[in-house]
Amino acid sequence: MKRPIFSAIIGYIIGIIWGLYFKINIALFYVCIIAIYFLYKRKFILWHSIKRFLIYALCRFFSEKEKRTEKNYIPKKKFKIISFKRYFRYAKLIINRKVILVIAIFSIISNSLIVLKEMEYKKIYKLDGNVVNIVAIIESNKIEKENSVKYMIKIIKCDSINLLENKKMYINIKNIKYANLHYGDIVQITGKYLKPEEQRNYGGFNYQNYLKTKEIYGIINFSNMKILDNRKENFLMTIANDISLDIKNKIDNILDKKYAEILKGILLGDSSNIDDNIKDNFRNASMSHILAISGMHISYLIIGIDKLLNKIIGKKSRKYVMIIFLVFYLFIAGFSPSIIRAVIMSVLIIISNLVYRKNDFWTSIAISLFTIIIYNPYLIMNIGFQLSYLGTIGIIVFNRCIKSVLDNLKVKENKYKNKIKEESKIKHTIKEKIKEILSVSISAQITILPIIVYHSNICSPYFIISNFFISIVIGPIIILGFFFIILSYISITLASKISIFLKIGLQILIFISNIGNLPYSKIFVTTPNWICIAFFYLFLIILKYIYFTYKDNFITNTQKRIKNLIELFKYKYRLNRKKVIKIFITVVIMFFILEQIPKDLKIYFVDVGQGDCTFIITPKNKTILIDGGGSEFGNYDVGENVLIPYILDRGYTQIDYIIISHFDSDHIGRNIKSNGRIKGWKSGNL
């Protein structure tokens, strides 16, 4: 069996997803499938035996020797273009009995683990409202909120409730006296346990699931606290946290706040304090991925180490230094899924070079996946996890195809033929580099597009432009940023001089992010369902396979069969351009007619916190919004954070009528600026 680890991780993921979305055990599902298979097989054997007996009886009855064989008696079957039996043969080449067995075993294991985890969470959530007395260790730095401060803690001991021991929680602190704790402090806390909020609206944010991705079981609103001891956390974790804080302080002291926060996001993955407007621009311009450490950051880091130590130590020693530095960087930058994936895969590539073995991408990605989801299976719901892995897979799967398409594009030739050879080589190199950047960017973006749309309901048509310019600028910024950090420990003066060039790079980055302010940079899209997403990926894979079937000079026997089937299909149904256009127009008209058919009246009451909001869909598919909610206190934008996502999740991108019952701030605190489409919420505008 080829790539057993990859087959195992597929099974493990299937088991986790099954446990999250289905209530029955996956083992029972497999038992049912096996039972159906054996019943079908027995029925098939029985029917085959009856058929043979009838043929033999008919041959004897007519006394014709030539009809005694089944071959001559049964009429020849017609060739079917659409045949699931034929296409299943191709699947059997990849998915054999060993692969199915491995997938089944690992899916049962992961499904059992996730079911046990869910039971554990439910037991702890039943403690909601109970007063607890615990001894815990602080496992995070201060996380500042509007009116309070919170820390992540790990419970060491809990009086009367053993279930909470070794569990992680958040503590909310409103008293300034206790808001200066440090990483590793041991504290005694008395407070009320609160379970996290569930999903309040259809398709809305589920805080419970979000905290599960961090292995956090709830929140404690403390009433009393006592510090028992200082700095008792794991020695390596404490040092890594101190270095991380020290680096952030040095960046803050040398650079202006705006540039410092962006640099911390790029180098350390900490984007919590970046200005909201800059964040929005980055998101609208499809640039958010540079604020999360990924393979791009790691690759530039490896290049920097290799160039720095090139003439100091040997090639083999450099690789050992790279591994040590990458692992240390993992501790400093935190253990987000994207950096864990990038570091594990990079370390495996380096190790394969050390032992003179060819690295297999699918095995490497399977090992990194196992490392992450065995530790916490709920990370499969993490957006960063999904984008990181899908983006990487997209580059590997589609990069060659898109590069081939770009190579085949006809570019107008220059009329002047008297060129210097060196100049033409430079131009050719630049063209190839541009094609490479574009192919990598497009292959990653088309793969993650459905996930971005599913989670944010936003589609940016300018992603090719923004990512092209980012690819040119981000490399020097990352390398210069690491050089800047090293110099800050040697000489503040030298680091300040380097910061001038670093500031220019960050200014260029902010300028590129202004693409997010261009017209139609933020197109709202309704939330796709998982079937649409699955069909999208299936369509991409089929399109890629068909493209190479026609473009490759040397095609396999399977590709030849597919090519013949396509040609036969076109011949049989006499397909041409005009016919395809007619079919497309007919389908569009049918969808339009179906939309006009009256449906049931639907009335939805939206939970907008304090205030009222009602969303109505009439039988003629018109949308009516009665009130929009609003915040009495604070700057929380109910319209942008609750109502717009809710309407998009319901499958609508416009509101036809708005009715306001009265003008209190809890009914119309954030209003719609509408010209038939959702534009966003602006205070005081309707």
Has residue 637 been placed in a domain? yes
pLDDT at 109: 92
Instruction: Give yes or no: residues 644 and 503 share one domain.
Output: no
Has residue 643 been placed in a domain? yes
DSSP count for the chain of H helices, then E strands = 23, 14
Distance of CA 646 to the CA centre of its chain: 21
pLDDT at 13: 92
Query: What range does the domain containing 608 cover?
Result: 602-682
pLDDT at 12: 92
Has residue 431 been placed in a domain? no
Instruction: Give yes or no: residues 96 and 164 share one domain.
Output: no
DSSP helix/strand/coil, 681: strand
pLDDT at 681: 39
pLDDT at 286: 80
Residue partners of 280: CB distance under 8 A and separation at least 6: 516
User: Final residue of a domain: which of 89, 117, 145?
Assistant: 117
Q: Number of folded domains in the chain?
A: 5
Give the C-alpha separation, 91 to 535, whole Å.
17
Instruction: Render pLDDT for 412-444 as a digit per residue (tens, 0 to 9).
Output: 545 444 444 555 777 777 777 788 888 888 888
Instruction: Render pLDDT for 76-132 as a digit per residue (tens, 0 to 9).
Output: 555 565 666 666 666 666 677 788 888 899 999 999 999 999 999 999 999 888 888
DSSP helix/strand/coil, 339: helix
Has residue 131 been placed in a domain? yes
Give the C-alpha separation, 307 to 319, whole Å.
12
Instruction: Give yes or no: residues 24 and 113 share one domain.
Output: yes
User: Final residue of a domain: which of 88, 117, 146?
Assistant: 117
The low-confidence residues of the chain, meaning pLDDT below 70, are 1, 40-49, 51-53, 55-94, 146, 176-178, 231-233, 410-423, 558, 573, 575, 631-636, 665-686
Instruction: Give yes or no: residues 486 and 355 share one domain.
Output: yes
pTM over 0.85: no
Question: For the purposes of burial, counting CB atoms within 10 Å of the CB of 110, is it exposed (0-12), middle (13-18) or buried (19 or more)?
Answer: buried
Instruction: Give yes or no: residues 546 and 653 share one domain.
Output: no
Instruction: Give yes or no: residues 265 and 374 share one domain.
Output: yes
Has residue 648 been placed in a domain? yes
pLDDT at 217: 92
pLDDT at 61: 59
Residue partners of 218: CB distance under 8 A and separation at least 6: 124, 125, 127, 128, 169, 170, 193, 194, 195, 196, 211
Instruction: Give yes or no: residues 588 and 633 share one domain.
Output: no
pLDDT at 56: 64
Has residue 387 been placed in a domain? no
Instruction: Give yes or no: residues 199 and 310 share one domain.
Output: no
Instruction: Give yes or no: residues 273 and 154 share one domain.
Output: no
Instruction: Give yes or no: residues 246 and 187 share one domain.
Output: no
Instruction: Give yes or no: residues 255 and 367 share one domain.
Output: yes
CATH number for the domain harbouring residue 203: 2.40.50.140
Has residue 343 been placed in a domain? yes
User: Final residue of a domain: which of 500, 524, 548?
Assistant: 524
Instruction: Render pLDDT for 524-574 as a digit per residue (tens, 0 to 9).
Output: 888 888 888 989 998 888 888 888 887 777 777 767 777 777 777 777 767
Has residue 25 been placed in a domain? yes
Instruction: Give yes or no: residues 343 and 489 share one domain.
Output: yes
